[in-house]
A and B are shown apart, each in its own frame.
Chain A
Amino acid sequence: MRSSPGSRGLLIILLFSMSLFAKSQESTLIAVGNQSGAPAAMKLSELRAVLMGEKQRWKNGNRIIIALMKTNTSVGKTTSARIYEMSGDELNKFWLALVFQGKAQPPYFFNSTSDLENFVAQNPGAIGILDKPITDHEIKAIMIDGQKTF
């Protein structure tokens, strides 16, 4: 194969996504949601928007409730780095500002994944970020950019 600029770009992208993949293969993340509220699939940018608090409600009207792992957990760290591109502290500060100004509903932070899963299962409109495949079948996994994990 000859390396054209386009193909080179593609290659970079592939490599990048592979690296991303590689990274994520270090800690992959899964987006989960309550049966009601969150869609079955979303784009990553949408996910980001939701998780950044830019959106308040789902299409069905349910309030968006964010569930995350605490930033002192590995999942939490990964979440804040990958999705928010912030450190744990920066994330806290971010949400502090938002809450302070009353602009968004802050996320719920959990110590354990099972807690998070339970929470998501019980709260319509809840959406959470995990790293393992779900064990609870009351919640659904959301396809992000067509992928199960990201």
Chain B
Amino acid sequence: MVINLKTRIWLTVFSIVLLFTFFTLFYFPAQQRKLLIKNYNTEVQNLANSVALAVNIAITDQNYNNLGSTIKLVKDDPRLQFVSMVQYDTVWSNDHRNFQVKKMIFKTFPENEHPEPDVQSNNSIIVKRGAFNTPVISGVILLAFTTKEINESQRKIRFASLIVSGIVLFIGILLGLLLAKKISIPILALRDAAKRVGNGDLTQRVNNRSGDEIGELANAFNTMVDDLSLARKELHETNVSLSSANQTLNNTLGELKSTQTQLIQSEKMASLGELTAGIAHEIQNPLNFVNNFSEVNKELIDEIEHELNAGNKEGVISIIRDLKKNEEKIIQHGKRADAIVKGMLQHSRSTSGVKELTDINVLANEYTRLSYHGLRAKDKTFNAVIQTDFDKTIQKINIVPQDMGRVLLNLLTNAFYSVNQKKKHHEKGYEPTVSVSTKKIYDKIEIRIKDNGMGIQHKVLGKIYQPFFTTKPPGQGTGLGLSISYDIIKAHAGEIKVETKEGEFAEFIILLPYN
């Protein structure tokens, strides 16, 4: 059960007042009485003592003045119940071993009182004894005062405190209610206003009538709602501008995407360009053989005719053997040219993404030559030793050949570029070498392309696969090669790693699943 603020306040005040009342009505008077009784006891005792002393003096000194005035004092006191002189006599037994103390009332005032020698204090009287001891007579003065007065005053006090408590209680309750109201009303107003603000109504403000903390709270609340209202407005405006900025960003994103597509295409075209020169040369060689071997065969056919006419059978057989050999060469080189052209066409097309069983060694070899000659076409001073080491046990693997070809082309191009750069700076004794190897390792194919060129700087190692990152001078590289290669290898569920030492070598290792 939640006790509300108002109730709490006046309950608190009420409890305090109640406590006070209890104190006033019971505790305080009780303490008072105790004190009074104590004082009274002391007083009576003192009086008894003085009477006893006076008796002592009277007997021993035969001076009865003191006793007279003391007795008068006692007698005149309205509180006096009785005063007795009690004589104590020590009575020894016959054998003087034990004794008894006989107490005897000698004289009492007033004479109508007949107290027992052993009388004690009770609710109505305080009895005190003062001892006197003279050779003539020994005993105690028994002094009894009434507690009537105390009881009377007690009643009076209790009555008074009852009245006072009642008044205080009443005032307290009133004040409590008043205070509760005074505090709770503004707080309730604040609560209601806060609730409404919480529900969205930002026009709420509270009246501030007092300068105290509640007033400050009201002010703070008002300020807060003002700020909130302002903030909401600003937020709304920000939203509007954000939404338009968002629109702009969307547009820009669209443009960027199309630019990216263009760049990738131009990268393709660039690599295609690199290919073209290489391809031209590549095709020249097979064509050279096709043409020449065809011509040779034409001559050989003429010779056959000649030999046939001459009847030289052995000659004819020998020539036919040569014919066959040459034909094979023609076919071989023709196919080679065909493959090169096909490869070139495939490279220029967007990838179909279709995997086919491909001989990775053949692919590697082709692209090694393509890359090398491509670069030689651009830079006639370019030269490098190519080492190949193809694992003949590798069967055809399921890859997208034009994509993987691009990867190899890219890595090879980079390798050749690197060794070429190094060659330009190191003249003596440096032999640019690029090695390409394939190897079957358990369930993977490993392709290694190593060059003894410039190596890769440690600080850029983390960036080499980033799109548009290149160490070539501006305009010389798109920076997309490794990024695209990385994506292609990932699409084949493979891995690409690099080992390098700056200034000495770089080796790219491709791992492809062998299925």
The answer to whether A99 touches B62, judged by C-beta atoms less than 8 angstroms apart, is no
Assembly CA distance A108 to B83 (angstroms): 24
A125 to chain B, nearest CB (A): 16
Known: A89-B136, A92-B136. A97 touches B64 (CB 8 A): no
Contacts of B83 in A (CB 8 A): 100
In whole angstroms, what is the CA distance A70 to B107 when docked? 24
Residue A37, interface by CB 8 Å: no
Min CB distance A79 to B, Å, is 12
Q: Does A27 contact B (CB under 8 A)?
A: no
Nearest Cβ on chain B to A47's Cβ, whole angstroms: 20
Answer yes or no: B353 CB below 8 A from chain A CBs: no
B55 at the A/B interface (Cβ < 8 Å)?
Answer: yes
B58 within 8 A of A: yes
User: Do A95 and B109 touch (CB < 8 A)?
Assistant: no
B173 within 8 A of A: no
Chain B residues positioned under 8 Å from A71 (CB to CB):
62
Contact (A92, B62) CB under 8 Å given A97-B106, A100-B107, A101-B109 = yes
Interface size class of chain B, counting residues whose CB lies under 8 Å from the partner chain? 20 to 34
Chain A interface extent, by class: 10 to 19
Bound-state CA distance A113–B65 (Å) is: 20
* A109 located at the interface, meaning its Cβ lies under 8 Å from any Cβ of chain B in the complex: yes
Given the complex of chains A and B, what is the CA–CA distance between A92 and B67 in angstroms? 12
Question: With a CB–CB cut-off of 8 A, which chain A residues contact B137?
Answer: 93, 96
Q: Which of B68-76, B188-196, B209-217, B257-265 lies at the interface? A: B68-76
Chain B residues, CB < 8 A from A93 = 136-137
Question: Which chain A residues lie closer than 8 Å to B109 at the CB level?
Answer: 100-102
The winner among A70, A97, A105, A106 for most chain B CB atoms within 10 A is A106
Q: Is the CB of A96 within 8 A of B68?
A: no
In the complex, how many angstroms separate the beta carbon of A99 from the nearest chain B beta carbon? 5
Contacting A at CB under 8 A, from B59-93, are: 59, 61-65, 67-68, 71-72, 75, 83, 85
Chain B residues engaging chain A, CB cutoff 8 angstroms: 55, 58-59, 61-65, 67-68, 71-72, 75, 83, 85, 106-107, 109, 111, 135-137
Interface residue ranges, A against B (CB under 8 Å): 70-71, 89, 92-93, 95-97, 99-102, 105-109
